[in-house]
Amino acid sequence: MTGAMHCGTCTLLIDDVLSDVPGVLSSRTSLTPAHTTVTVDPTQVDDDQILGAIQELGYPPSPRPER
């Protein structure tokens, strides 16, 4: 989940910032429900880097357990 989002601009900002993280292949952020789906190259980026990028924007992320 990606918390504290209020509008579509929030989703665009998150996706824009994540697109600049090396190893992020794609991201899609949805306002309702508030979540971000990220596809990565795990040899280049880890969960902490992704969560940190979202947190730096002021949105409190919480990882969803893998299925």
pLDDT value of position 67:
56
Q: How far is CA 55 from CA 21, 27, 52, 58, 60, in A?
A: 13, 15, 5, 5, 5
DSSP H helical ranges for 4-46: 8-19
Q: What is the pTM of this model?
A: 0.86
- pLDDT, tens digit, 9 for 90 and up, residues 47-66: 999 999 999 999 998 887 66
- pLDDT, tens digit, 9 for 90 and up, residues 6-56: 899 999 999 999 999 999 999 999 998 888 999 999 999 999 999 999 999
